[in-house]
Structure 1
Amino acid sequence: MKTKIIRIGNSQGVRIPKPLIEESGITDEIEMILRDNEIVLRSAEKTRNGWEDSFEKMAKEGDDALLDQEDIENPSDWDETEWEW
């Protein structure tokens, strides 16, 4: 499919026909990638996608404990003598 580059304010752009967008599955946000003299448009990946499932798995396996729990529970001499609230 050929299309013309159009002026959009101080930029340039192309109009993408609605059927092409619907068929591609592109939603509100896209990623543009320049690859080998081509511009590739694709749906943007959602930030932190899958984190909720990972956190649930960590909790079930007991892998969500603090790594410095002992240091928190047993303050150092510096904490006791030097720290002021």
Structure 2
Amino acid sequence: MRATLVKIGNSHGVRIPKPIIEQLGLGADLLLEVRDGALVIRPTTAPRVGWAEAAAQCHAAGEDDLGDWDGVVADQVEQWK
């Protein structure tokens, strides 16, 4: 699909057709990245999206035992004194 660069004040913009916006789930905030000579536009995601679900899955699988970490912090504090 071809597009035209449009002047907007001191900047420029590209009009993105509505079907593409909907397909990608684009909102007002976007991530722009230059990769291999191309402009990549991606939707932003909230920090830690999916962490709660992943933690619940770990708990259900019995993989959330942090017992091995009990002495780690105390050992590190002693080393830095």
TM (norm. structure 1) is: 0.55
What is the SS of the residue equivalent to 1:33? Answer: strand
2:24 partner amino acid = G
Q: As a proportion of its length, which structure holds more helix?
A: 2
Q: Which residue of 1 aligns with 2:15?
A: 15
Q: Which residue of 1 aligns with 2:6?
A: 5
Identity %: 32
User: How large is the Cα RMSD of the aligned pairs?
Assistant: 2.8
Map 1:55-70 to 2 at 5 A.
Answer: 55-60=55-60, 61=62, 63-65=64-66, 67-68=69-70
Map 1:38-57 to 2 at 5 A.
Answer: 38-57=38-57
Q: How many residues align?
A: 69
Structure 1 stretches of 4+ with a deviation exceeding 3 A read none
2: CA distance, partners of 1:32 / 1:62: 36
State the structure with more CA Rg: 1
Q: Which runs of 5+ in 2 are unaligned?
A: 75-81
Q: Which runs of 5+ in 1 are unaligned?
A: 73-85
The structure, 1 or 2, with the larger RCO (C-alpha pairs under 8 Å, 6+ apart) is 2
2: CA distance, partners of 1:57 / 1:20: 33
